[in-house]
Amino acid sequence: MTEPIRILLADDQALVRGALAALLDLESDLNVVAEVGRGDEVLDAVAAAQPDVALLDVEMPGLDGISVAAELHRSHPDIKILMVTTFGRPGYLRRAIDAGASGFVVKDTPARQLADAVRRVHMGLRVIDPALATETLTSGTSPLTAREREVLAAAAGGASAAVIARTLHLSEGTVRNHLSSAIGKTGTSNRAEATREAERLGWL
């Protein structure tokens, strides 16, 4: 008899994490061996539990799931990564795949389909929510540069150009230029709208 697929679950919502674990553990060929509630706890849990597949939420405290995926892919390339998220944003999908994820599904995926997604990524296949894949193709890639994304993210809390400049070690003029460019690329009229639109599309 083959060994069950060992799974690590990372989700900051305890109820969701518990429900996912219970559903997956009902499958005879799946075994949840670790659960964590923060992104910055994943690598230690991986070292201790040696999972075959990591199910990562996108939005977590400590370190977001896409950043975790990139670190995990670098340090443990043999572990398959499946992103499971409430937020089916097209930009998230593209960034997750670029970070090394093998799959991307939303949390309202039926339990049987989620279990099958785990099996398929474990086999080396790619699994992507079809509706999200279509939306990603039609929305195109993010037009924001890495620096524009960084400046917009810093502006999300309402910080002034001077504060952002100090934080990112840039001149105020450079910050304003990046914000202006980001506003243009998102088709919005101010930086608050630009931030909201970039977040909606998963570009931040």
Q: Which domains does the chain have, with CATH numbers?
A: 5-139 (3.40.50.2300), 146-200 (1.10.10.10)
Question: Three-state DSSP class for 201?
Answer: coil
Least Cα distance to 182 among 147, 157, 136 occurs for 147
H or E element, residue 131: helix 130-139
Residue 199 to residue 204: CA distance in whole angstroms: 5
pLDDT per position as a tens digit, 56-76: 999 899 999 999 999 999 999
- The sign one gets for the Cα dihedral 71, 59, 97, 196 is negative
The confidence band for 130, taking pLDDT boundaries of 50, 70 and 90, is confident
Beta-bridged to residue 127, according to DSSP, are: 103
**Is the pLDDT confidence value at 198 over 90?**
no
**What is the model's pLDDT at position 135?**
67
pTM of the predicted model over 0.95:
no
- Nearest 5°: phi and psi at 64? -70, 160
136 confidence band (pLDDT: 50, 70, 90): low
Tell me: pLDDT of 138 over 60: no
- pLDDT, mean over the chain: 89
Distance CA 53, CA 35 (A): 12
